[in-house]
Structure 1
Amino acid sequence: MTKKALIAMSGGVDSSVAAYIIREQGYECMGATMRLFDNEDAGLTTEKSCCSLDDSQDAWRVARDLGFPHYTLNFKDVFRRCVIDRFVRAYEHGDTPNPCIDCNRFLKFQALYERGQALGCQYIVTGHYARIEEVEGRYRLKKALDPAKDQSYVLYTLTQAQLAHTLFPLGGLQKSEVRKIAEEQGFVNAQKKESQDICFVPDGKYAEAIRRFTGKEYPCGPFVDREGHVLGEHKGIICYTIGQRKGLGLALPAPAYVLEKDVAGNRVILGPNEALFGRDVVAGDVNWIAWDEPPKEFRACARIRYNQKEQPATVWPTEEGFRLQFDEPQRAVTPGQAVVLYDGEDVLGGGTII
């Protein structure tokens, strides 16, 4: 019996090549582009967003060339509720979120997964650079073979049930190999540039986007040092993140960095770079991949941001999540970001820094 696969097609080269590989492996395929928001409603130009009409048309063309149907699915309400609104709330509470993780968690591997099941598909396929292996009845999430493209960090929320029904065809390929396959197949997007920004904030102006989404103005307040001395006035607490130096608009005798955000007092605390380093991290909203119940204490390597090289640490699971202590101090541990745990190539699990 032929297995059916629903392929998440963004219009980019990665998902297109993933579709080609899965078709070549004999799956019955259908493509799906998720409509996540209206560019005009978000104040964006169609040229800059990964959700533009052109992207949907590119996905349709690739699906047509590969000989399987393509659908555009409206997930705007889910995206607004589960990604944009969570993004806004996090900033309003002083955190710095990673909306790509929420998009994977709630859209690609939940809403789209459920739609695929309704359509009779056994698998969801995406162009992520990661690998899934089954070992003794348990599914493992592993790093991609191309370290420069590895996306395992943003996939740590995947459950065993989702891993069992997900395929990552690009996990064993180099990006250069993916481009070559696209060129050989004559895909219209073979040389398409990759989006480097959050899809609904492609210009990187997060504070402006939050004001646009909420219609609110966020009041100015004091910049203060660690002793509480006022150093100047900030432009709204949503404009800053831990570790930031640029854009403070202050003339001070020594470089100053954002150390903390006091939301209740509407204050941004500044200090020297060395004050940003610490060894302790607490995480909540945890998902374990390697076990149903983790050991009471274990060693792992942890990554506290997407592009960071993971660092050795000791981990102690708690009822609320886990706490860890790095062997060496790490810079700018930021609430709202993900901390993901690794054992070599395997993702053990992860959570949100609190």
Structure 2
Amino acid sequence: MKKRVILGMSGGMDSSMSAILLQRQGYEVIGATLQTHTEANDKNIVDAQNLAKSLQIEHHLIDCRNEFKKEVITYFADEYINGRTPNPCVYCNRTIKWKYLLDLALQLDCDHIATGHYVRVLKENKYFYIQKGMDPAKDQSYFLWNLSQDVLSKAIFPLGQLKKTEVRALASELGYQNIADKKESMGVCFLAGTDYRNYLKKLLTSDHPSLQPGPVIDSNNNVLGHHEGFPFYTIGQKRGIEGVANGQCVVSINPERRALITGKKSDLFTNQIHLHEYSLTTDKSLWQDREVFIRVRGLDSVPGYQGKIEINNNSLAVYFNEDVWAITPGQSIVFYQDDKLIGGGIS
């Protein structure tokens, strides 16, 4: 019998090609598109439905807009209001995307759950792990550190062994030029390419307390100038801030005072941090008294660092082998052993 697989179909190139490849590999594919923040006639949703129809596969449109707004949008705004910088994609993976896909897989008696992420999955010593994808330029493992073993035990990733350029070329080769020509989606989905500051202004309205002007101060409490609303700034920022001189930048944000605190760039270097919200493999041999590779940001130019981790009471202590600049509250810090993701947490 064919193994049944639930596939998250966004309508983009990656999930579309995942549907095609899974079907060619002999799986019984059932498509599922999550309607998170758009109308049902959104082009991506329609594209997913049309592809499912052309492949003659069952397709489900799941309207989860209310829960997405309640969970992800609220989290996104609350983090900025509290002077932190959110990772909405990481948060959505756990609370919305994989939760709904797992529920549907159990409901429809499916063996697997698939997505178009450029990662792989590995079973080792009874545990399941996310592995980096074969395309280093597109590896998305950083965003999946908080998935449970229940999810990972069912997960498969058809594109994990491929490079993005290979997937695009394969789409063209198989006669799906419309899929090969799809533009790559970038950034946070519900921002739709707009600046998050404009999104917050519409979401919170202009009279929200956090969006009111506040002081820019130095470490001695001297007022240097004023800003337009502290959620519009981030740790390490130096441009576009009144009163900030050369060599100075934002070193912290005080939401209670609606204040940006400035200091020297060197003030933001650290070689350790404690995480109170984290997930870590129970196989201690992968991290106890061993060096691990640490990523402090996702798909950008920051290469990552070597260091060690250990559990202290209810927190996870992270010790870097070198000073790391501008670790931003609210962002994910993710740990690897070679190409295997072994945990992560929120700074």
Question: Does the pair score TM above 0.5?
Answer: yes
Tell whether the 8 Å contact from 1:290 to 1:347 is kept in structure 2 after alignment: no
- Structure 1 window deviating more from structure 2 (104-113 vs 314-323): it is 314-323
- Name the stretch that deviates more: 290-299 or 58-67: 290-299
Q: Which of 149, 152, 170 is the matching residue for 1:163? A: 152
Alignment deviations for residues 30-60 of structure 1 (CA, whole Å, 9 cap, x no partner):
1111100137xxxxxxxxxxx9711111112
- Corresponding position of 1:241: 234
Q: Could you report, residue by residue, the CA deviation over 1:141-180 in whole angstroms, capped at 9, with x for unpaired residues?
A: 1101110000000000111111111111111101111001
Residue matched to 2:91: 102
Distance 2:48 2:174 in 1: 14
Does residue 40 of structure 2 align to residue 65 of structure 1? no
SS in 1 for 2:291: strand
Task: Name the aligned partner's letter for residue 300 of structure 1.
Answer: V
SS at match of 1:111: helix
Question: 1:16 maps to what in 2?
Answer: 16
Report the Cα offset of residue 134 of structure 1.
1.3
- Conserved in 1, the CA contact under 8 Å of 2:33 and 2:48? yes
Runs of 4 or more consecutive aligned structure 1 residues displaced over 4 Å after TM superposition:
292-297
Q: Quickly say closer, same or farther: Cα 1:91–1:178, change in 2 above 3 A.
A: same
**TM norm structure 1:** 0.91
One-letter identity of the residue aligned with 1:34:
L
Q: What are structure 1's unaligned runs of at least 5 residues? A: 40-50
Say which of 299, 303, 317 aligns to 1:323: 317
Tell me which of 161, 174, 179 is aligned to 2:163: 174
SS at structure 1 position matched to 2:190: coil
Q: How many residue pairs align between the two structures?
A: 341
Contact 2:225–2:243 (CA<8 Å) still a contact in 1? no
CA-to-partner distance for each residue in 1:91-132, whole Å, 9 max, x for gaps? 111110110101111122112211221122221110001110
Contact 1:321–1:351 (CA<8 Å) still a contact in 2?
no
Please provide the CA RMSD for this pair. Answer: 2.0
Q: Which whole-Å CA distance do the structure 2 matches of 1:180 and 1:173 have between them?
A: 11
Same amino acid, percent of matched pairs: 33
Gaps of 5+ in 2: none
Residue 85 (structure 1) aligns with: 74
Could you tell me which of 217, 220, 225 is aligned with 1:224?
217
* Contact 1:290/1:349 (<8 A) preserved: no
State yes or no: 1:193 paired with 2:186: no
What amino acid maps onto 1:2 in structure 2? Answer: K
Mean Cα deviation higher: 153-162 or 215-224: 215-224
**Deviation at residue 267 of structure 1 after TM alignment:** 0.9
Q: Is the 8 A contact 2:250 2:263 kept in 1?
A: yes
- Alpha-carbon shift at residue 236 of structure 1 (Å): 1.0
Corresponding position of 2:45? 56
1:43 is aligned to none
Deviation at 1:293, TM superposition (A): 9.6
Q: Indicate whether 1:206 and 2:200 are aligned.
A: no
Equivalent residue, structure 2, for 1:137: 126
Contact kept? 1:302, 1:340, Cα under 8 Å? yes
Separation in 1, partners of 2:327, 2:201: 26
Deviation at 1:290, TM superposition (A): 5.8
Match of 2:248 among 234, 253, 256: 256
Give the TM-score normalised by structure 2. 0.92
C-alpha separation in 2, matches of 1:89 and 1:340: 22
The answer (yes or no) to whether the contact 1:198–1:204 under 8 Å persists in 2 is no
